[in-house]
Amino acid sequence: MAQTIEGALKIAAKRTGVTPEQYEANLEAGFKWCTRGKHWEDSEKFCSDSSRHDGLASSCNRCRQALQKSMYVPRPRKSTRGRRYRPARDGDQRQAQDRIRRLVKADVFKNPNDIPCVDCGHFGNDQTHEYDHHKGYEAENHEAVQARCKRCHLRRHKIKPIVFGGVSKEAAEWARPLGISVRSLRERIEKWPLAKALTTPNCYPNRKFKRGPKNDEAI
């Protein structure tokens, strides 16, 4: 019976629960049967589907959206608030410190001044607190920090004495006879052999840098 147009119309009307005459009247009025919601809906609320005889999908947009929402499963995502997408580098002290500053600015980490010092327990505005990378600057430890007051932070990272020729001295004691600063001595040790860095005196002990041209009239 479905091999004729009349037979197909009767089968479709029977599925919707109406008579063939009512089925044709609904189609002429611009309605279409939603197979998912089991109701009549305006044909303009159906998306296009070229595979069907009338060029419209079998279910309305509202039922399709409800189906998609019921099938949606949210994926757990790790919060990236305040974090940079650039991968962490091993031993990069500057990158680790910049990352902590960004996390503090984004309110992911508390301000270190609002946390007591883990060493001496100091808490107050009379001394600045800082975050200390107590586990080092490896990539996996860039966010592993502890809040310490500035005094305890400096004490923890105090420069160890330099041993050379069986003599142990502080960096300042090695730099003073050479006529250079401690900072210059550190730069020497990084670039030069230790023996050369601790025995080569300052090449320009009396050098004075001019800040500008002399004014003879002022003299």
The answer to the question of residue 24 being in a domain is yes
Residue 14 has φ and ψ, to the nearest 5°, of -65, -35
pLDDT tens readout for residues 1-44: 456 878 888 888 888 888 888 888 988 898 999 989 899 999 99
pLDDT at 214 (0 to 100): 45
pLDDT at 114 (0 to 100): 93
pLDDT at 147 (0 to 100): 93
- Domains held by the chain: number: 3
Q: Would you tell me how many other CB atoms lie within 10 Å of the CB of residue 146?
A: 18
Rounded to whole angstroms, the maximal C-alpha distance in the chain is 121
Calculate what percentage of the chain has a pLDDT beyond 90: 23
pLDDT at 47 (0 to 100): 92
pLDDT tens readout for residues 33-92: 998 989 999 999 999 999 988 899 999 999 999 999 999 888 776 666 666 667 888 888
List beta partners, residue 132.
146
Domain membership of residue 126 as a residue range: 93-156
Statement: residue 215 has pLDDT above 70: no
Are 149 and 126 members of one domain? yes
Are 148 and 110 members of one domain? yes
The answer to the question of residue 207 being in a domain is no
- Going from the C-alpha of 55 to that of each of 6, 67, 68, 81, 140, the distances in angstroms are 20, 21, 22, 47, 57
pLDDT tens readout for residues 129-175: 999 998 888 889 999 999 999 888 877 776 567 888 888 887 778 88
For residues 85 and 93, what is the distance between their CA atoms, to the nearest angstrom? 17
CB-CB contact of 14 with 6 (8 Å): no
Are 99 and 60 members of one domain? no
The two counts, helices (H) then strands (E), for the chain are 8, 6
CB-CB contact of 177 with 168 (8 Å): no
Among the residue ranges 90-99, 165-174, 192-201, the one predicted with the least confidence is: 165-174
Are 66 and 12 members of one domain? yes
- Residue 206 pLDDT class (50, 70, 90 cuts): low
Are 186 and 144 members of one domain? no
pTM for this entry: 0.40
Are 27 and 44 members of one domain? yes
Are 152 and 112 members of one domain? yes
Please name the residues in contact with 114: beta carbons below 8 A apart, sequence gap of 6 or more. none
Q: Note every long-range contact of 111-116, with CB atoms under 8 Å and residues 24 or more positions apart, other chains counting.
A: 112/147, 112/148, 115/147, 116/147
The answer to the question of residue 80 being in a domain is no
The answer to the question of residue 87 being in a domain is no
Q: Would you tell me how many other CB atoms lie within 10 Å of the CB of residue 85?
A: 5
Statement: residue 97 has pLDDT above 80: yes
CB-CB contact of 159 with 183 (8 Å): no
- Going from the C-alpha of 106 to that of each of 29, 66, 79, the distances in angstroms are 58, 37, 12
CB-CB contact of 116 with 123 (8 Å): yes
The answer to the question of residue 213 being in a domain is no
